[in-house]
């Protein structure tokens, strides 16, 4: 169980961290999808990018 928990936590940290940083730097591949979903570009920095990145950091603290 500990191995599965560690592997899934690392995958979740990587996915949330990448997603958060991509939103913070306004990575061009994510912009069309966000626009189609109706997300204002001003939301990419805060709350989306900031909270996703902080969530990844919080999850990393549990390891």
Q: What DSSP state is assigned to residue 13?
A: H
Condensed to tens digits (0 to 9), the pLDDT of residues 3-62 reads: 999 999 999 999 999 999 999 999 999 999 999 999 999 999 999 999 999 999 999 998
Count how many residues are written for the chain.
63
Domain boundaries, the chain: 2-61
Residue with tokens 């994510």: 30
Does residue 1 have a pLDDT over 80? no
pLDDT value at residue 11: 98
Cα–Cα distance for residue pair 10/41, rounded to 1 Å: 29
The angle at the Cα of 33, spanning 19 to 44, to the nearest 5 degrees, equals 50
């Amino acid at each position: 169980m500990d191995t599965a928990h560690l592997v899934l936590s690392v995958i979740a940290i990587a996915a949330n961290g990448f997603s958060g940083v991509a939103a913070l730097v306004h990575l061009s591949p994510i912009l069309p999808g966000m626009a189609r979903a109706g997300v204002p570009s001003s939301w990419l920095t805060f709350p989306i990018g900031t909270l996703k990145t902080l969530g990844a950091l919080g999850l990393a603290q549990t390891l």
